[in-house]
Copies of this chain bind each other. A is one copy, B any other.
Amino acid sequence: MKLRETRIALVGLGLMGGSLAHGLRGRSAGLIGVDSDPAAVECARSLRLVDRATTDLASALADCDLAILAVPVRAILSLLQRLGRDLPLPPYVLDVGSTKVAVVQAMQTLPEGADPIGGHPLCGKETSGLEAALPGLFQGSTFVLTPLERTSPAARSLAEELVHTMGAQPLVMDAARHDRLVALTSHLPYLMAAGLVEAAHQAASEEPELWSLAASGFRDTSRLAASDVSMMLDILLTNRDNVRAALGRVRAALERMEELLAAGDEQALHLVLKRLREVRASRPGGS
């Protein structure tokens, strides 16, 4: 099935759903936007993001070839439990949730007749909601796809076409590996940003001048602490073991640096920090 022949139900009109709508409208056979929040539906209508916007999930699912689930992870899990039971079962199902093991497990239990595939576009902002949606949000980013054994070549090919249409690069990956790696690249940075804000906030309760001394370095390092909490909580709780392992890794790294600092071992500290600077600088899109 080609994207231009596919009628899409986009479930969730937030940052992800809105940004997907920017790319998919006019490139598919019809785009229905669904959100339980009438204000988001109204907003999608007035921005002409979708061909039709509704709060009626069942009718949208009944009337599509592909459902894209663009809600927080635990809302995706609960939707997947309802498809083909108290909600219509669309032929193709793609989600864009930030953790994949729990989603793929839930997809595994879908009734026959559904052709599901997991997805995770690696783009985002610490802001959320439809107002924050951007036409170019996916441009140049990686879009992980986690097919199941039951995923057909047709579903995979449709998902890949969709990814390319959004201007992103598909990366097919095992769900477990995905979750292990994003714990380090995404969930850990969030918790570190929150931990930094906590440390500064505590100190500022005694010395409020602290905030006058927070410049761009603090701002960037703490940016993710402003992420949507419900979304992040879903992520953390569906990827708990990997997040804890990632926290363990960073704790060990910080302890090692602290030891060298305490010992005044300048040479060793220089070596460590220089190596990390090179690692950081050599990453694509480094700065």
Contacts and interface: CB of A to CB of B under 8 A. Distances in A.
A194 B249 CA distance: 12
B177 A218 contact: no
A226 B280 contact: yes
Interface bracket on A:
35 or more
A195 B250 contact: yes
A266 interface: yes
Interface stretch (A48-56, A61-69, A153-161, A240-248): A240-248
Contact of A126 (B122, B213, B253, B287): B287
Given A124-B217, A218-B186, A198 B276 contact: yes
Nearest to A233: B270
17 contacts: A123-B215, A173-B209, A178-B213, A184-B199, A185-B213, A185-B218, A188-B199, A189-B217, A194-B253, A197-B280, A199-B246, A219-B287, A225-B279, A229-B274, A230-B270, A243-B261, A251-B251
Interface of A: 122-127, 141-142, 144, 171, 173, 177-178, 180-182, 184-186, 188-203, 207, 209-227, 229-230, 232-233, 236-237, 240, 243-244, 246-247, 249-251, 253-254, 257-258, 261-262, 264, 266, 269-270, 272-274, 276-277, 279-281, 283-287
